[in-house]
């Protein structure tokens, strides 16, 4: 929203000017749409959608980046996950490795297992693709690692 | 209980069923088993007859059948001291908790299947339960904010004096049983037909001079108050007054009330569902200020007994004739309070911005502006607020934290031991987050695309002051609550209308040039801007806010000249307004609310 400037503004403006900076940062490669985020997202606020979960995934490209492994963090996150949704999502994007379908009881001390979870949760990023509402088929594009979950006025 | 049979029953015999015979005993047991199953279905609490406990369940009667706490109290108290009575709204059962087991068993044996206080004069059926419904015991020390009850404010002689000022006709109503309380007005008449006073028509008789000792006493305690209106109410036992709020536009705050002749329990109710019974003793002074005056209703339940706190637990207090003197000051002009839901002045004011226009206004004057200024915004924002950093850092390892309206991600990546997700309406601001490596997605704060109850923490900093009506501001808060888990906490910051609350905020401080003349802008000088039938003032930067809804300019300077200007829509918050919005929801509790450099801030926890 731009306004034409009036002389009255010019007078009052001086104390609150903002300098236009040169855009210094270039888009880096740090794109992120993680399966951990996917595990939390839903389309349930759409009109007519009751659960809206889990969202389907169509991948155009993914990226694998190494992230520091923090076993304590991973074992605390696990109870907050919908495990079967994570497993399916990892399967969909071909990153399942040999992640077990059922969550074992004593995962806290199973370092190998935690490492696998760490990998699918945090090291795999969907760069471009789309998420799909399971009930309406509405597609939510992922561009540059950012899912666009915005709904139109008539969808809420 | 025979000595004070206030229920109007003629004799003990009529009230009790005859001792059951062998055959009907079996029938009774069958009925009881059925009732126990109903209780378990309604409350989740199993009950039985075989394992006596201190908790006696009335299985076939409760609030939904018209059974009152008063009747329960009266029926059970003669068997021993009661710890508490739990009446459940909308349920056909209730719980009576004795202090000791022997009394509970005694009551059970004497009453079960015999005492006819269930619906249609049927006998009540009892059970014992191991556990109780999760409702908090009534704590008479908890009062609505702003309410004070000063015990022994006047002496017995002064009580006599006040009572002598008004003569109520004891015979009114013929048989001596009047349906309604009697009322007398001084100074101005409160007209129940228009729910207001006629401010232009004072009564001939003002507030009696005999009351003056009260104002001197108040002054000596630091309250300067002189009323111009007095209402005297005369209640007989069994009479009450329905829940109401004293009309905002009729009377200023505080409201004062002196209770004479008898104790009473007043019921205060809040729109979020809270109900606080307040014990008001004889010869006490009740002072209602702020929230208790504007945002809670008060009333007196018509009954002859009140359940009141006692040293051991609870006890019944028989009501006598009670006279109350309510002193008030007539308000000049309209009410300006922030407690809008019970405010008649607010209802008369211009309608809120409609949802349709609000959405357009936000789209043009919030969303589009942030897209346009994203890069500059990134360069010029203030340092992070220390209390927001503390909040984020207080999150335990492995927590999930959601930043609603994360902007350029200033509060993300701070706590390395949590998983933080940010969301914002602006694509350009989110691009900046991605450059920093944060997890973000696009959405509107009115519908957050996250599952219920997944977040341990939510922050929402400088976001909801961009929503253009109250319904939308509430909606955004309800989304924060929805995504929080029970026990999770949220922190909200919004711009304050008062930028000068404690001392100069940094926002005003930057106005070096105009520092001397803070108030030199009057409403006449203002420049206004219209957007789709909504005309709002344009704010002069670094000045105090004169309005709640306005445009705040964002100006760009390029090589020494102004190259562009953008108008952002803001709703700046009054004191307590953010609390007011959060308290609308009954599943949260406010942990703290404070002012920080031009912002109103609140921390709340989801409790159920
Ligand atoms: Zn008001």
| pLDDT class of A58 with cuts at 50, 70, 90 | very high
The 10s digit of each residue's pLDDT in B185-212 is 999 998 877 778 888 888 999 999 999 9
State the pLDDT confidence band at B380, using cuts at 50, 70 and 90.
low
Cβ neighbours of B397 in A, within 8 Å: 72-73, 76
Question: Is residue B607 classed as helix, strand or coil in its secondary structure?
Answer: coil
Cβ–Cβ below 8 Å for B565 and A2: yes
Q: Using CB atoms within 10 Å of the CB of residue A104, give its burial: 0 to 12 exposed, 13 to 18 middle, 19+ buried.
A: exposed
């004293």: which residue's tokens? Answer: B246
What is B165-188 written as a DSSP string?
T----TTTTSSS--SS-EEEEESS
B343-356: average pLDDT: 75
Q: Which domain holds residue B462?
A: 355-505+574-606
pLDDT digits (tens, 9 = 90+) for B398-429: 999 999 999 988 899 899 899 999 999 999 98
Residue B455 has pLDDT above 80, yes or no: yes
Q: Is the dihedral of CA B97, B99, B102, B103 positive or negative?
A: negative
pLDDT at B437: 79
Of A13, A21, A156, the CB nearest to B555: A13
The predicted structure's pLDDT at residue B177: 45
Cβ of B441 and A10 within 8 Å? no
* Chain A interface test: which of B434, B466, B487, B524 (most A C-beta within 10 Å): B434
Residue B590 has pLDDT above 70, yes or no: yes
The hierarchical CATH code for the domain A27-155 is: 2.20.25.10
Strands lying side by side in the sheet with B296-300: B241-244, B296-300, B264-270, B275-280
Query: Can you name the residues that pair with B168 across neighbouring β-strands?
Result: none
Tell me if A1 and B540 make a contact (CB, 8 A cut-off): no
Distance CA B538, CA B26 (A): 81
Question: Does any domain span residue B445?
Answer: yes
**Pick from B300, B324, B349: which residue ends a domain?**
B349
The answer to whether residue B138 sits within a structural domain is no
Q: Are residues B183 and B281 in the same domain?
A: yes
Confidence of residue B242 (pLDDT cuts 50, 70, 90): confident
CB of A20 less than 8 A from some CB of B: yes
Q: Stretch B470-495: mean pLDDT, rounded? A: 96
Better-scored residue on pLDDT, B16 or A33: A33
Which chain A residues have a beta carbon less than 8 Å from that of B514? 15
- Which is more confidently placed, B500 or B401? B401
Chain A: residue nearest B397 by CA?
A73
Distance CA(B86)–CA(B93), nearest Å, equals 9
Domain count, chain B: 3
On whether residue B298 sits in a domain, the answer given is: yes
Instruction: List A residues 27-46 in contact with B (Cβ-Cβ < 8 A).
Output: 27-28, 30-34, 36-37, 40-45
Instruction: Please tell me the predicted confidence (pLDDT) of residue B432.
Output: 82
pLDDT computed for residue A135 by the predictor:
95
CA of B320 relative to ligand 1 center, distance in Å: 34
Q: Are residues B90 and B152 in the same domain?
A: no
Q: In this predicted model, which residue has the larger pLDDT, B288 or B301?
A: B288
Q: Mark whether B399 and B500 lie in a shared domain.
A: yes
Q: Give how far Cα A127 sits from Cα of A124, A143, B126, B257, B414, Å.
A: 9, 7, 65, 67, 24
* Cβ-defined contact of B443 to A150 (cutoff 8 Å): yes
**A36: nearest CA in chain B?**
B419
Residues around the ion ligand 1 (C-beta < 5 A): B 248, 335, 337, 343
Residue B390 lies in a domain: yes
Output the pLDDT for position A26.
34
pLDDT higher at B16 or B305: B305
- What is the separation of C-alpha B427 from the centre of its chain, rounded to a whole number of angstroms? 38
**Same domain for B188 and B218?**
yes
Contact between B7 and B304 under an 8 Å Cβ cutoff? The reply is: no
The residue with tokens 């809040």 is: B270
Say how many Å lie between the CA of residue B211 and the centre of ligand 1.
Answer: 28
pLDDT at residue A141 is higher than 50: yes
Q: Which residues pair with B459 in a beta bridge?
A: B403, B491
Residues B386 and B453 in one domain: yes
Of the listed ranges B19-23, B76-80, B340-344, B555-559, the one predicted with least confidence: B19-23
* Average model confidence (pLDDT) across chain B: 85
Residue at B142 is within a domain: no
CA distance A98 to chain B (A): 24
The answer to whether residue B606 scores a pLDDT higher than 50 is: yes
Residue B348 has a pLDDT of: 67
Assigned domain for B512 exists? no
Q: CA nearest A113: which of A125, A124, A98?
A: A98
pLDDT in tens, B432-452: 887 777 899 999 999 999 999
Share of chain B above pLDDT 90, in %: 47
User: What is the average per-residue pLDDT within A45-57?
Assistant: 94
Q: What is the SS3 assignment for B349-360?
A: CCCCCCHHHHHH
Question: Tell me, what's the pLDDT at B235?
Answer: 92
Q: Tell whether B77 and B214 lie within a shared domain.
A: no
For residue B365, list chain A residues with Cβ-Cβ distance below 8 A.
Answer: 1
Domain CATH for B61? 3.30.70.330
CATH number at residue B393: 3.40.50.150
Picking from A5, A41, A151, the nearest residue to B450 by CB comes out as: A41
Q: Which of A103-107, A142-146, B145-149, B496-500 has the highest mean pLDDT?
A: B145-149
Q: Compare B383 and B512 and report the one with higher pLDDT.
A: B383
What pLDDT is stored for residue B520 in this prediction? 44
Mark whether B185 and B118 lie in a shared domain.
Answer: no
Chain B hits for A156, CB-CB cut-off 8 Å, are 446-447
> CA of A77: which chain B residue's CA is closest?
B398
Query: Domain boundary at B291, B317, B349, which?
Result: B349
Contacts of B564 in chain A (CB under 8 A): 2
């Amino acid at each position: 929203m731009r306004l034409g400037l009036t002389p009255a503004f010019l007078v009052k403006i001086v104390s609150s000017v903002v300098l236009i900076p040169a855009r210094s940062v270039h888009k880096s490669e740090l794109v992120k749409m993680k399966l951990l985020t996917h595990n939390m997202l839903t389309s349930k606020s759409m009109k007519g959608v009751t659960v809206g979960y889990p969202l389907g995934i169509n991948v155009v490209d993914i990226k694998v980046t190494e992230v520091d492994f923090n076993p304590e963090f991973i074992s605390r996150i696990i109870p907050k996950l919908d495990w079967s949704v994570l497993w399916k999502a990892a399967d969909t994007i071909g990153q399942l490795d040999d992640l077990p379908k059922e969550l074992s009881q004593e995962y806290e001390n199973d370092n190998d297992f935690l490492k696998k979870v760490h990998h699918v949760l945090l090291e795999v990023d969907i760069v471009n693709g789309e998420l799909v509402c399971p009930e309406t088929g509405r597609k939510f594009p992922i561009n540059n690692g950012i899912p666009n979950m915005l709904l139109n006025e008539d969808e809420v | 209980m025979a000595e004070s049979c206030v229920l109007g029953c003629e004799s003990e015999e009529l009230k009790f069923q005859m001792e059951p015979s062998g055959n009907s005993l079996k029938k009774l047991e069958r009925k009881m088993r059925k009732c126990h199953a109903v209780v378990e279905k309604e409350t989740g609490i199993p009950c039985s007859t075989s394992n006596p406990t201190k908790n006696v369940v009335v299985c076939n009667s409760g609030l939904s059948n018209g059974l009152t706490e008063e009747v329960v109290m009266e029926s059970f108290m003669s068997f021993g001291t009661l710890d508490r009575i739990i009446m459940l709204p909308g349920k056909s059962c209730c719980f009576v908790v004795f202090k000791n087991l022997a009394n509970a068993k005694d009551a059970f044996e004497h009453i079960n299947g015999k005492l006819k206080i269930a619906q249609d004069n049927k006998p009540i059926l009892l059970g014992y339960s191991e556990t109780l419904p999760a409702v908090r015991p009534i704590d008479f020390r908890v009062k609505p904010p702003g309410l004070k009850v000063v015990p022994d404010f006047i002496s017995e002689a002064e009580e006599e004096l006040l009572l002598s000022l008004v003569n109520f006709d004891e015979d009114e109503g013929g048989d001596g049983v009047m349906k309604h309380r009697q009322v007398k007005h001084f100074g101005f008449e409160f007209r129940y037909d228009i729910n207001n006073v006629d401010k232009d028509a004072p009564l001939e008789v003002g507030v009696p001079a005999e009351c003056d000792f009260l104002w001197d006493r108040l002054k000596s305690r630091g309250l300067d108050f002189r009323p111009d209106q007095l209402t005297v109410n005369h209640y007989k036992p069994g009479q009450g007054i329905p829940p109401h709020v004293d009309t905002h536009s009729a009377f200023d705050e505080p409201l004062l009330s002196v209770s004479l002749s008898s104790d009473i329990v007043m019921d205060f109710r809040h729109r979020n569902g809270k109900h606080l019974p307040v014990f008001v003793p004889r010869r006490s002074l009740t002072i209602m200020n702020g929230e208790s005056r504007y945002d809670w209703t008060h009333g007196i339940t018509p009954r002859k007994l009140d359940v009141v706190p006692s040293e051991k637990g609870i006890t019944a207090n028989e009501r006598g004739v009670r006279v109350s003197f309510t002193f008030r000051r007539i308000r000049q002009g309209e009410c300006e309070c922030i407690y809008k839901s019970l405010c008649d002045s607010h209802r008369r004011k211009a309608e809120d911005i409609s949802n349709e226009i609000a959405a357009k206004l936000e789209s043009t004057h919030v969303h589009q502006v942030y897209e346009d200024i994203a890069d500059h915004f990134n360069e010029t924002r203030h340092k992070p607020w220390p209390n927001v950093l503390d909040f984020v850092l207080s999150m335990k390892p492995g927590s999930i934290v959601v930043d609603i309206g994360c902007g350029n991600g200033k509060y993300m990546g701070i706590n390395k031991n949590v998983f933080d997700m940010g969301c914002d309406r602006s694509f350009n601001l989110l691009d900046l987050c991605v450059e920093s490596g944060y997890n973000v997605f696009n959405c509107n704060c009115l519908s957050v695309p996250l599952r219920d109850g997944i977040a341990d923490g939510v922050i929402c900093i400088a976001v909801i002051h961009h929503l253009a009506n109250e319904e939308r501001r509430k909606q955004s808060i309800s989304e924060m609550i929805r995504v929080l888990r029970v026990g999770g906490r949220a922190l909200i910051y919004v711009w304050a209308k008062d930028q000068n609350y404690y001392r100069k905020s940094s926002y005003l401080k930057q106005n070096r040039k105009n520092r001397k003349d803070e108030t030199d802008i009057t409403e006449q000088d203002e420049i206004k801007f219209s957007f789709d039938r909504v005309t709002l003032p344009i704010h002069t930067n670094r000045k105090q806010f004169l309005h709640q809804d306005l445009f705040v300019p964002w100006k760009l300077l390029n090589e020494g000249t102004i190259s562009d200007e953008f108008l952002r829509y803001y709703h700046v918050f009054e004191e307590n307004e953010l609390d007011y919005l959060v308290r609308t929801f009954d599943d949260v509790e406010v942990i703290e609310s404070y002012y920080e450099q031009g912002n109103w801030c609140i921390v709340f926890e989801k409790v159920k």
